[in-house]
Structure 1
Amino acid sequence: MKTVIVPTYEQASPANQTLMDNLKKALSFVPNLYATFTHSETALGTYLTLQNARSSLSSKAREVVNLSVSQINHCRYCLAAHTMVGKMVGFSDEQVLEIRRGSASFDVRLDALTKLTHNVMITRGHTDKDVLQAFFDAGWNEGNLVDVMMVIGDKTISNFLHSTTEIPVDFPAAPEL
């Protein structure tokens, strides 16, 4: 059976090497999942553009979506990475676990966002109208809803790439629920 490997810097194209150089400057290393995108000539650049696009969502709100999607998709890699990032944006260990379980009782707006994201994922986009209304009632708007869907798409891409390739996780493992 063929195994997908994490490409080395030397195996990447010059264009992908430039992106890897930028990642190394920003993160101090090139995460294995990003390196795996370099199997394609264009995927890493496209993915980074999507991931770094301007959004109406705060960094905390984006992490709520990232953690929720990664939990529903059972992506060990992204759960590990976003548990770390979640703490960097100000969530406690307990809050990260609560978000992964499907709520955020510590913040009304983030709770509605967490419940919406979990519902969108579980229903494959056939969102429960009451959950959607609760999202709007918590102060979110239509633009926020569209941006939530963009982050869901972004995270689903990386979740599926990892789940398919099973490349090594190079972040501390996320706690089990």
Structure 2
Amino acid sequence: MINFQVPTKETVSPTNQAIFEQLEKKVGFLPNLYATYAHSENALKNHLDFSAVNTSLNNKEKEVVNLAVSQVNECLYCLAAHTAIGKMSGFTDEQILEIRKGQASFDNKLDALAKLAKNVTENRGKTDPAVIENFFNSGYTKENLVDTIELVGLKTISNYLHRTTGVPVDFPSAPELKLTTIS
């Protein structure tokens, strides 16, 4: 992996400096991955704007998608960040681990969402029709489907940015996920 430096406030454009200040006030610190977007004059603002768009998914549902996608894409940074955010959203440690596996036995609707997010990501959009049918049967709509796929894309961008740059994770590490295999 290349040695990809995290930019500091002094090394980015005035536009990105202002965004850094806003993020520090909102989050309490400047996450390294957000800072990494600032290597581009436009990417950080674009990412934050896209992250803030209206969606039919609530915050808990968005975290289900973020966790499932980040697990499939093996992004340690996003898994750490969204484990912390998932806890703030009301998920337990056990529920977060289950969501990362692409399921949520504790809630049928979230289970269908986790399965969809995992399947879309694993199959790069060639989603299993049975997974889509289960999603709709659990009460989700076509609007929810489109918004979920949009969120999968957004999270994948962050996953890829971290996987490519390897900038240090500045959130508490997510627990290792032990996947069971059938022999």
Tell me which interval the TM-score lies in, with the shorter structure as reference length.
over 0.9
Identity of aligned residues (%): 56
Give the letter aligned to residue 156 of structure 2: T
Q: So what's the TM-score if we normalise by structure 2?
A: 0.95
Give the drift of 1:2: 4.7
Structure 2 counterpart SS, 1:174: coil
Alpha-carbon shift at residue 25 of structure 1 (Å): 0.7
For residues 6 and 53 of structure 2, what CA distance do their matches in structure 1 show? 25
Q: Once the 2 structures are TM-superposed, how far is the Cα of residue 122 of structure 1 from its aligned partner?
A: 1.2
RMSD of the TM alignment (CA)? 0.9
Task: Please name the residue that 1:70 is paired with.
Answer: 70
Q: Could you say what secondary structure the match of 1:44 adopts?
A: helix
Q: Which residue of 2 aligns with 1:20?
A: 20
Alignment partner, residue 9 of structure 1:
9
- Matches of 1:97 and 1:163, distance apart in 2: 21
Give ranges in structure 2 of 5+ residues lacking alignment: 178-183
Amino acid corresponding to residue 32 of structure 1 in structure 2: N
Residue 39 (structure 1) shift: 0.4
How much does 1:124 deviate?
A: 1.0
Instruction: Write the distance in 2 (CA, Å) between the matches of 1:94 and 1:118.
Output: 18
Matched AA of 2:146: V
The one-letter code of the counterpart of 2:69 is V
1:167 match: 167
Partner of 2:40: 40
Q: Distance in 1 between matches of 2:157 and 2:122?
A: 16
CA deviation profile, 1:53-86 (whole Å, cap 9, x unmatched): 1110000000000000000000000000000000
**Structure 1 residue 15: Cα displacement:** 0.3
User: Matched residue of 1:140: which SS?
Assistant: coil
Alignment partners' CA distance in 1, 2:31 and 2:47? 14
- What letter matches 1:115 in structure 2? K
Partner amino acid, structure 2, of 1:11? T
Residue of structure 2 equivalent to 1:101:
101
Q: CA deviation at 1:22?
A: 0.7
TM-fit CA distance, 1:52: 1.1
CA distance in 2, matches of 1:155, 1:128: 20
Alignment of 1:72-87 (within 5 A): 72-87=72-87
Distance in 1 (alpha carbons) for counterparts of 2:81 and 2:62: 13
Q: Give the Å deviation of 1:102.
A: 1.4
Using the size of structure 1 for normalisation, the TM-score is 0.98
* Aligned residue pairs, count: 177
Rounded Cα–Cα distance in structure 2 between residues aligned with 1:27 and 1:2: 28
Following TM superposition, by how much is the alpha carbon of 1:123 offset from its aligned partner in structure 2, in angstroms?
1.1
Question: What CA distance in whole angstroms lies between the structure 2 residues aligned with 1:160 and 1:2?
Answer: 14
C-alpha contact (below 8 Å) 2:2/2:165 kept by paired residues: no
